[in-house]
Structure 1
Amino acid sequence: MIKHNVISVVLGGGKGSRLYPLTHQRSKPAVPIAGKYRLVDIPISNCLNSGYNRIFVLTQYNSASLNSHIKNTYNFSVFSKGFVEILAAEQTNEGERWYQGTADAVRHLQRYLQHHDYEHLLILSGDQLYQIDFQEMIEAHIETGAEISVATIPVNAKDATSFGILKSDEAGNITSFIEKPNSSLLPPWESEVNDEMKAVGRVYLASMGIYVFNKSILTQILEESEGVDFGKELLPEAIGRYKIHSYQYPGYWTDIGNIDSFFEANIGLTDDIPQFNLFDRNTIFSRARMLPPSKVSGTTLDNVVIADGCIVAAERIERSVIGIRSRIGVGSVIKTTYMMGSDFYQTLHEIEDARANGFPLVGVGENCYIENAILDKSCCIGDNVRITGGAHLADGDFDTHAIRDGIVVVKKRAILPAGTVIG
């Protein structure tokens, strides 16, 4: 396959307030997913699997853990030109503002890009779940003579209000674009899609927030416009002035924009044949941890994904993701839950000391019942704790947990004493 001259940019996004409390102490790209990865590993892995190994990651909020993850994960041979480099927002002589939007972030990147040889810039979001061969997208971009390409996917009317929606002609050239339209504006924005998509009402072409720009065109657009966001300003302004191509992606893709979508994406990994297939030839790269294999004693498991280094003695676990170094006590039942695991093991001395003083251990204690929940890293849940998420719970934020769309999110390193009941 032809080797293209591409630099990739992963946009870390803003504060990630819709993913709170998971983003209270970390940036969106650093949020753990699937029990052993970080969200940022998904776009980076897609790039590496496509043969593109020059990658910038732009971030500005709570970037310490993300910096550590990138540093400890993506190291290339001294004989390679590859890199994965974090660029956090910074004050310079040219400006003192943080990134104001996606286009503003790339505009600030320009002074770093001028030191690199490239023909195409591939711009990605750091909070999406998908598997795509970017070489195919770049080749389609070149073959169609496009100056800008936008990856698109059909969505239904409910989801369309959360995305940029576009129309294209028979040749795939984008002719109009509207950002996050009100539902009342949707009817004229229907597009021709295949019968399978039409049958499920996915008749609106949504931007996936994945763009390919020719180098000269990107520089020109950023100089011509004062806009700070691609979807809201630069792309609508560019229609009719530049050749913009819609690259329709036929596979699975989801935007991890809020707690509900994050929860569903993780729980979906436990399906018999998940839409996002971890068991694929395309590797998802992440930090290499020297952890022991997981140990399970007397537990009934049904559609469960278990990461490395876990010690599980639960009575039953079903439709759940159990993250690295998780510890689950005897008699506990866990259903439809994402347990992120722990950043460390407690020593035998620390365990004895905690028990002697009546403190819960890191992990889930004995005889607990947990359903419809997300347990953030290194939380301590005592014995006989009951957490029952569901539609009966109102949204709220509390010292140890938050509730979003019926999902109970236990905060990082939170302590729930024995006998606690939530829900």
Structure 2
Amino acid sequence: MKAIGIILAGGNNDGRLGVLTEQRASAALPIGSCYRAIDFTLSNMSNSGIGKVAVLTQYNSRSLRDHLTSSKWWDFGRKQGGLFVFTPYTSSTGNDWFRGTADSIYQNMTYLHRSNEEYVIIASSDSVYKMDYRDVLQYHIDKGADITVVYQNMEGKDLTHFGIMQMDENKRLLGFEEKPEQAQTTSASLGIYVISRKLLIDLLQEVVPQGGYGLVKDIIIPYSKKLNIFGYEFKGYWSSIGTGIHGYFETNMDFLKKEVRDVFVNQYPYIETKPKDEPPAKYNAGADVTDSIVGSGAIFNGTVEHCVVFRKVYIDEGAVVRNSILMEGVRIGKNCVVENAILDKEVSISEGQQVIGKSSEEPIILKKGTKL
């Protein structure tokens, strides 16, 4: 494919994910019993024939960098192209942290200059979806667009977390509102952009030195009248964990729906992740596990209903767990009750404890390493 990729993975979503991103980037958050959030965009890049991808990280990037240590799982272990992970660094010309999405690319302009591909696909790292970027690129070329913004019709959903696009009948962008209280349309940007490499370089060199650090605020919105910017509608499954705790909870719970799970697990091309060498899950005599998706190495002795369970979770006899997310290494003792909860990695609950959240909209969260 005649495009390179850029994945924006530097943030923690401005605290909207609370304690879940205290010690990790949102791109590294666990999804669907075995994935990390960035796996979906990485796999989409690889499955679309993009052989050269840069991941721009910044906030609490240790676990994310560990996940990306080997690029072969997404087929980026190659002589030509490959996977590049960039973080802020000190140089003779500056030592600033990334001050925005545009600035993060600007500070790594060498990646653009040393590439020969004509186009750039830019995408966020906190969304769950499967997309062939080749379709978007062909649309971009056919439209003669300067920039193409992927959007989805989100009628009936809370639009205050999204950038809202106004377009004419030909899908040309007329206006763009960032997280409006009263949206004029239901066309929400998915944070995926197609642009020529040379135009991106020119825009960054014009905007960033003048104090413009955001792709949307300082390029898309100001240039909407000067450039041919078009919208491309995506009609498949798409969900963002970046909207907050409820968004993260619901995205995981969507994997309990067969039609959603099949898109990523059973329909080629697949979403890939860094594998872990664990034995299969074990269900002992007293176990009763229903309507749940389970990671490897988990051991069940109690009751589990409508849950997303990650690897190496242990649930003891008499414990009842419902409508919850249990991350890696969680241990639940005998006769515990856990409901409407998100238990981060290595949470341990001793015998007889109760951890009950209000609802799916307001789950209780136990931060990483909590001991009860």
After TM superposition, the score normalised by the length of structure 2 is: 0.93
1:236 corresponds to which residue?
A: 221
CA 1:112–1:386: 2 relative to 1, 3 Å: same
After TM superposition, the score normalised by the length of structure 1 is: 0.82
CA 1:229–1:170: 2 relative to 1, 3 Å: same
Asked whether 1:300 is paired with 2:288, we answer yes
CA RMSD of aligned residues (A): 1.9
**Would the aligned equivalents of 1:166 and 1:176 in 2 still touch at CA under 8 Å?**
yes
Asked whether 1:93 is paired with 2:92, we answer yes
1:261 corresponds to which residue?
A: 247
Asked whether 1:368 is paired with 2:336, we answer yes
Cα offset, 1:411, TM superposition: 1.2
Cα offset, 1:243, TM superposition: 1.2
Rounded to whole Å, the distance in 2 between the matches of 1:94 and 1:379 is 44
Asked whether 1:328 is paired with 2:310, we answer no
**Would the aligned equivalents of 1:13 and 1:125 in 2 still touch at CA under 8 Å?**
no
Cα offset, 1:408, TM superposition: 1.0
For residue 190 of structure 2, the aligned residue among 204, 208, 221 is 208
For residue 299 of structure 2, the aligned residue among 311, 327, 335 is 311
1:351 corresponds to which residue?
A: none
Cα offset, 1:6, TM superposition: 1.0
1:65 corresponds to which residue?
A: 63
CA 1:262–1:283: 2 relative to 1, 3 Å: same
Asked whether 1:409 is paired with 2:365, we answer yes
Rounded to whole Å, the distance in 2 between the matches of 1:163 and 1:44 is 22
Cα offset, 1:155, TM superposition: 1.8
Matched position secondary structure for 2:165: strand
Rounded to whole Å, the distance in 2 between the matches of 1:119 and 1:36 is 35
How many residues of Structure 1 are paired with residues of Structure 2 in the alignment?
364
What residue identity is the alignment partner of 2:295? Answer: A
Cα offset, 1:379, TM superposition: 1.4
What residue identity is the alignment partner of 2:260? Answer: P
**Would the aligned equivalents of 1:146 and 1:243 in 2 still touch at CA under 8 Å?**
yes
What residue identity is the alignment partner of 1:11? Answer: L
Matched position secondary structure for 2:222: helix
What residue identity is the alignment partner of 1:283? Answer: Y
Q: Deviations over 1:267-316 (max 9, x none)?
A: 121124337643322211111221111111232222110111111111x2
For residue 10 of structure 1, the aligned residue among 1, 7, 10 is 7
CA 1:158–1:271: 2 relative to 1, 3 Å: closer
**Would the aligned equivalents of 1:269 and 1:277 in 2 still touch at CA under 8 Å?**
no
Cα offset, 1:330, TM superposition: 1.0
1:101-180 map, 5 Å = 101-156=100-155, 159-180=158-179
Cα offset, 1:323, TM superposition: 0.4
Matched position secondary structure for 1:237: coil
Asked whether 1:223 is paired with 2:220, we answer no
**Would the aligned equivalents of 1:166 and 1:205 in 2 still touch at CA under 8 Å?**
yes
1:195 corresponds to which residue?
A: none
For residue 386 of structure 1, the aligned residue among 354, 363, 367 is 354
Matched position secondary structure for 2:273: coil
Cα offset, 1:386, TM superposition: 0.8
2:37 corresponds to which residue?
A: 39
Cα offset, 1:79, TM superposition: 5.2
**Would the aligned equivalents of 2:46 and 2:76 in 1 still touch at CA under 8 Å?**
no
Rounded to whole Å, the distance in 1 between the matches of 2:233 and 2:108 is 27
**Would the aligned equivalents of 1:74 and 1:84 in 2 still touch at CA under 8 Å?**
no
The gaps in structure 1 that reach 5 residues or longer are: 191-203, 343-361, 392-403, 417-423
Q: Which has the larger radius of gyration?
A: 1
CA 1:290–1:263: 2 relative to 1, 3 Å: same
Cα offset, 1:73, TM superposition: 4.9
For residue 52 of structure 1, the aligned residue among 34, 50, 53 is 50
1:394 corresponds to which residue?
A: none
Structure 1 residues 12-21 or 206-215, which shifts more? 12-21
CA 1:11–1:92: 2 relative to 1, 3 Å: same
Rounded to whole Å, the distance in 2 between the matches of 1:78 and 1:19 is 32
Structure 1 residues 71-80 or 4-13, which shifts more? 71-80
What residue identity is the alignment partner of 2:11? Answer: G
1:251 corresponds to which residue?
A: 236
Percent identity (aligned): 32
Matched position secondary structure for 1:151: strand
Rounded to whole Å, the distance in 2 between the matches of 1:303 and 1:78 is 37
CA 1:79–1:252: 2 relative to 1, 3 Å: closer
Cα offset, 1:159, TM superposition: 2.2
What residue identity is the alignment partner of 1:335? Answer: R
What residue identity is the alignment partner of 2:133? Answer: F
Cα offset, 1:51, TM superposition: 1.4
Rounded to whole Å, the distance in 1 between the matches of 2:264 and 2:110 is 38
